[in-house]
C-alpha cells in the first residue's frame, strides 16, 4: 500500500525530495498545499511540475475524507455524513449562531464507552481517527461556513463521535495542525475538548501544557447515579476526577466546564443539586446545562423547567457561573448525544 503523504512531517517531506534529487523547498510547497490549502489531489498542486506530481503519485496517496451526505436543519445547523478512506463512517456538525460558527468534530469511529443516554455509545468502536481525518473535518466545515454563512469557523468543539482522550496522540496532532499557521490558524483558546472524565489523561494534558479548553461530561456528582447512567465511570471515581480537575487548573490556570443534563427521576432533586454545587466549589469551574435530546432509550426523560431553574438558582447563589445550552439540529439528529450514522444505517 502507498503511504499517506500527510503522515510525513515537513522535515520528512523535504528529505524525500532531497533524496530524489529535487530541491528541498519542494517539500515546503507540497506541505502548504496539503495543510494550508487542504488539497486532496496532487493534480491541484499547480506550482509543482507534472513530472514531480507523477513521482508523488507513484509513492504516495492522500487519504482524504469524503462528504457523502449533507443534512441541513431548519435552524441552519448542517450535519455531514463523512466517509473515511476505508469506507467507515463518522459525522461532523456545523453549528451557526448569530456571530460565530462552531465545528463539532468526531475523534473515533463509534465509541468504546457506554453512556446510556448517548446514541453514539450504541455504535461499536471501530478505530481511532487519524490526525489528518480530524483536520479534514474542521477544514471541510470551515469551507462550508464560508459558503453558507460568509465567514470562517470561529470555534471547534470535540463533542462528536467517540471519546477524544482515548485517541490522545492523534487528537493532539490533529489540533496542532488545526492551530498551526500552515493549517487553519485557529487559536487553541477557541477549541474545547470534551471528555467523559478519563482522569489520568486529564492529568497528562495538563502536564503537556495544552492551550485549549477542557469540558467534562459530568451529569451527576453522586457516584451511584453517575455509575448508573455512565457505567464505565466505575473505573474513574469522582474523587479521582476531581483531583485531576484540580491538577488541570493548577497547571493551566484554565477553569473546567462541567456539562450537565438533568433528567426526570434521575438527578432532578436537591441532593443532586447540592452535590453538584459542592463538586464545583472544590475547584474553579462553570456549568453548562445541556438540553436533553431524545434517543431510543425510554429511561431518559428531560426534567421539568422548574428543576432546571432550581439548579440555576443554587449555582448562582454559590457564585458558580452557569449557562444553558439550547440544542441545535435536533430535527436532523445532529444535536448533542444524537450522532449515530442514523441516516446511513
Read off the pLDDT of residues 132-171 as tens digits, 9 standing for 90 and up. Answer: 999 999 999 999 999 999 999 999 999 999 999 999 999 9
Cell of 2: 502507498
Distance separating alpha carbons of residues 119 and 135, to the nearest angstrom = 24
pTM: 0.89
CATH 1.10.150.530 placement within the chain:
3-61
User: How confident is the model at residue 329, as a pLDDT?
Assistant: 56
Q: Which of 21, 27, 22 is nearest to 9 (CA)?
A: 27
Burial of residue 86, with CB atoms counted within 10 A of its CB: 0-12 exposed, 13-18 middle, 19 or more buried = exposed
User: How confident is the model at residue 333, as a pLDDT?
Assistant: 58
Question: What CATH topology corresponds to 66-344?
Answer: TIM Barrel (3.20.20)
Give the HSE-up count for residue 156: Cα atoms under 13 Å, Cβ half-sphere: 30
Q: In this structure, are residues 64 and 40 in contact, taking their beta carbons and an 8 Å threshold?
A: yes
Q: Is the dihedral of CA 212, 206, 128, 196 positive or negative?
A: negative
3-state secondary structure of 301: coil
For the domain spanning 3-61, the CATH number is: 1.10.150.530
Distance separating alpha carbons of residues 94 and 142, to the nearest angstrom = 9
Q: Is the dihedral of CA 124, 128, 130, 133 positive or negative?
A: positive
CATH 3.20.20.70 placement within the chain:
66-344
Catalytically active residues are 91, 336
> Residue holding cell 483531583?
243
Residues of the chain with pLDDT under 70: 295, 327-345
Cell of 21: 534529487
3-state secondary structure 174-226: HHHHHHCCCCCCCCHHHEEEEECCCHHHHHHHHHCCCCCEEEEECCCCCHHHH
User: How confident is the model at residue 345, as a pLDDT?
Assistant: 41
* Model confidence pLDDT, tens digit, residues 223-242: 999 999 998 899 999 999 99
* Phi, then psi, of 289 in degrees rounded to 5: -80, 120
Buried b (16+ CB within 10 A) or exposed e, 36-56: eebbbebeebeebeeebbebb
User: How confident is the model at residue 330, as a pLDDT?
Assistant: 64
Q: In this structure, are residues 129 and 106 in contact, taking their beta carbons and an 8 Å threshold?
A: yes
Amino acid at each position: 500500500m502507498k503511504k499517506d503523504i500527510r503522515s510525513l512531517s515537513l522535515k520528512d517531506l523535504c528529505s524525500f525530495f532531497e533524496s530524489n534529487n529535487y530541491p528541498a523547498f519542494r517539500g515546503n510547497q507540497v506541505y502548504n498545499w496539503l495543510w494550508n490549502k487542504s488539497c486532496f489531489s496532487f493534480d491541484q498542486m499547480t506550482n509543482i511540475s507534472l513530472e514531480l506530481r507523477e513521482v508523488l503519485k507513484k509513492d504516495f496517496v492522500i487519504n482524504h475524507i469524503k462528504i457523502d451526505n449533507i443534512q441541513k436543519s431548519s435552524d441552519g445547523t448542517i450535519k455531514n455524513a463523512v466517509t473515511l478512506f476505508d469506507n467507515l463512517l463518522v459525522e461532523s456538525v456545523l453549528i451557526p449562531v448569530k456571530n460565530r460558527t462552531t465545528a463539532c468534530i468526531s475523534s473515533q469511529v463509534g465509541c468504546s464507552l457506554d453512556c446510556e443516554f448517548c446514541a453514539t455509545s450504541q455504535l461499536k468502536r471501530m478505530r481511532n481517527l487519524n490526525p489528518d481525518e480530524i483536520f479534514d473535518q474542521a477544514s471541510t466545515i470551515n469551507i462550508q461556513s464560508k459558503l453558507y454563512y460568509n465567514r470562517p469557523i470561529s470555534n471547534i468543539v470535540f463533542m462528536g463521535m467517540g471519546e477524544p482522550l482515548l485517541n490522545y496522540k492523534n487528537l493532539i496532532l490533529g489540533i496542532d495542525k488545526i492551530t498551526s499557521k500552515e493549517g487553519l490558524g485557529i487559536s487553541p483558546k477557541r477549541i474545547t475538548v470534551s471528555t467523559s472524565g478519563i482522569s489520568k489523561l486529564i492529568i497528562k494534558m495538563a502536564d503537556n501544557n495544552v492551550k485549549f479548553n477542557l469540558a467534562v461530561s459530568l451529569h451527576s456528582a453522586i457516584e451511584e447515579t453517575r455509575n448508573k447512567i455512565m457505567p464505565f465511570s466505575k473505573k474513574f471515581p469522582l474523587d479521582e476526577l476531581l483531583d485531576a480537575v484540580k491538577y488541570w487548573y493548577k497547571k493551566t490556570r484554565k477553569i473546567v466546564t462541567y456539562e450537565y443534563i438533568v433528567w426526570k427521576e434521575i438527578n432532578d432533586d436537591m441532593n443532586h443539586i447540592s452535590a453538584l454545587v459542592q463538586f464545583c466549589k472544590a475547584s474553579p469551574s462553570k456549568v453548562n446545562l445541556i438540553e436533553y435530546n431524545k434517543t431510543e432509550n425510554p429511561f431518559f426523560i428531560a426534567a421539568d423547567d422548574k428543576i432546571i431553574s432550581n439548579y440555576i438558582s443554587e449555582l448562582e447563589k454559590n457564585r458558580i457561573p452557569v449557562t444553558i445550552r439550547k440544542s441545535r439540529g435536533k430535527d436532523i439528529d445532529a444535536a448533542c448525544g444524537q450522532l449515530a450514522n442514523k441516516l446511513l444505517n
